[in-house]
A = this chain, B = another copy of it.
Amino acid sequence: MLVREGAALIEGLVHWQYGEENDPTGHRRLAMSVLAEALRAVDPAEAVRRCLRLQGETLFVGAETYNLRRFRSIYVIGGGKASVAMAMAVEEILGDRIIAGLVNTKYGYTAPTARVAINEAGHPLPDENGLRGGRRMLELVEAAGEDSLVFCLISGGGSALLVSPAEGLTLADKQGLTNLLLRCGATINEINTLRKHLSRMKGGNLARLAYPATLVSLILSDVVGNPLDVIASGPTVPDTSTFADAYNVLERYGILDQVPPAVLRHLRQGLAGEIPDTPKPGDPVFAKGQNLLVASNEIASEAAVAKAKELGFNTLFLTSFVEGEAREVAKFEAALAREVARSGRPLARPACIVAGGETTVTVRGQGKGGRNQELCLAAAMKISGIENVAIISLATDGSDGPTDAAGAVADGETLARAAGKGLDPWHYLANNDSYTLFAQIGDLLVTGPTNTNVNDLVFVFAF
Number of copies: 2
B325, A338: Cβ atoms closer than 8 Å: no
Give the residue of B319, B329, B334 whose beta carbon is less than 8 angstroms from that of A339.
Answer: B319
Residue-wise, chain A 320-347 has the 8 Å CB interface mask toward B (1 for contact) of: 1111110011011011101100110110
Q: Could you tell me the distance in whole angstroms from the C-beta of A344 to the nearest C-beta in chain B?
A: 11
Asked if A318 lies at the interface with its beta carbon under 8 angstroms from chain B, I say: yes
- Set of chain B residues within 8 Å of A324, measured between Cβ atoms: 328, 331-332
Asked if A357 lies at the interface with its beta carbon under 8 angstroms from chain B, I say: yes
A321, B298: Cβ atoms closer than 8 Å: no
B317, A335: Cβ atoms closer than 8 Å: no
B316, A335: Cβ atoms closer than 8 Å: no
Q: Could you tell me the distance in whole angstroms from the C-beta of A379 to the nearest C-beta in chain B?
A: 11
Asked if A382 lies at the interface with its beta carbon under 8 angstroms from chain B, I say: yes
A323 and B381 CA atoms in complex are apart in Å by 13
Question: Count of A residues near B, CB < 8 Å?
Answer: 28
A321 and B323 CA atoms in complex are apart in Å by 19
- Set of chain B residues within 8 Å of A322, measured between Cβ atoms: 331-332, 335
Q: Could you tell me the distance in whole angstroms from the C-beta of A461 to the nearest C-beta in chain B?
A: 15
A357, B335: Cβ atoms closer than 8 Å: yes
A298 and B324 CA atoms in complex are apart in Å by 26
B318, A346: Cβ atoms closer than 8 Å: yes
- Set of chain B residues within 8 Å of A325, measured between Cβ atoms: 325, 328
Give the residue of B298, B317, B339 whose beta carbon is less than 8 angstroms from that of A318.
Answer: B339
Among A298, A336, A339, A355, find the residue whose CB has the most chain B CB atoms closer than 10 A.
A339
Asked if A62 lies at the interface with its beta carbon under 8 angstroms from chain B, I say: no
- Set of chain B residues within 8 Å of A334, measured between Cβ atoms: 321
Asked if A367 lies at the interface with its beta carbon under 8 angstroms from chain B, I say: no
- Set of chain B residues within 8 Å of A442, measured between Cβ atoms: none
| Known A325-B328, A331-B324: A319·B298 in contact at CB below 8 Å | no
B319, A336: Cβ atoms closer than 8 Å: yes
Point out residues on A near B: beta carbons under 8 Å: 225, 298, 316-325, 328-329, 331-332, 334-336, 338-339, 342-343, 345-346, 355, 357, 382
Q: List 28 A-B contacts (CB under 8 A).
A: A225-B342, A298-B343, A316-B346, A317-B345, A317-B346, A318-B336, A318-B339, A318-B346, A319-B336, A319-B338, A319-B345, A320-B339, A321-B334, A321-B335, A321-B339, A322-B331, A322-B332, A323-B331, A323-B335, A323-B382, A324-B328, A325-B328, A328-B328, A328-B329, A329-B331, A329-B332, A332-B332, A335-B355
Q: 6 closest pairs, A vs B, by CB?
A: A328-B328, A321-B335, A319-B339, A324-B331, A319-B335, A321-B338
